[in-house]
Amino acid sequence: GDGSLVSRNQREMVPVALTVVKYALQAGIVACQRMGVEIFLEQLFNRGFASHFIWYMLWF
């Protein structure tokens, strides 16, 4: 039923999510090295990335 469909979709999304997280971490490390953690976090929240990230975490 619906449960199997949801679990299948989640399994298919796992590699995509891991890839997104990997690139996000790499970009975050570079950004932190270039402009500092505080400024990076401020820009992150200002651009709404954090809210999208939280939404995706809740979605899973």
Annotate 2-33 with DSSP letters as a single string: HHHHHHHHHHHHHHHHHHHHHHHHHHHHHHHH
pLDDT at residue 49, as a whole number = 66
CA triple 2-13-56, angle to 5 deg:
90
Q: pTM (2 decimals)? A: 0.40
Sign of the alpha-carbon torsion through 31, 40, 26, 50: negative
Q: Supply the range of the domain harboring residue 47.
A: 2-59
Neighbours of 57 (CB within 10 A): 9
Q: pLDDT value at position 7?
A: 76
Domain count, the chain: 1
pLDDT in tens, the chain (60 residues): 566 677 777 788 888 889 999 998 888 788 777 777 777 777 777 766 666 676 777 765
CB 40 within 8 A of CB 46: no
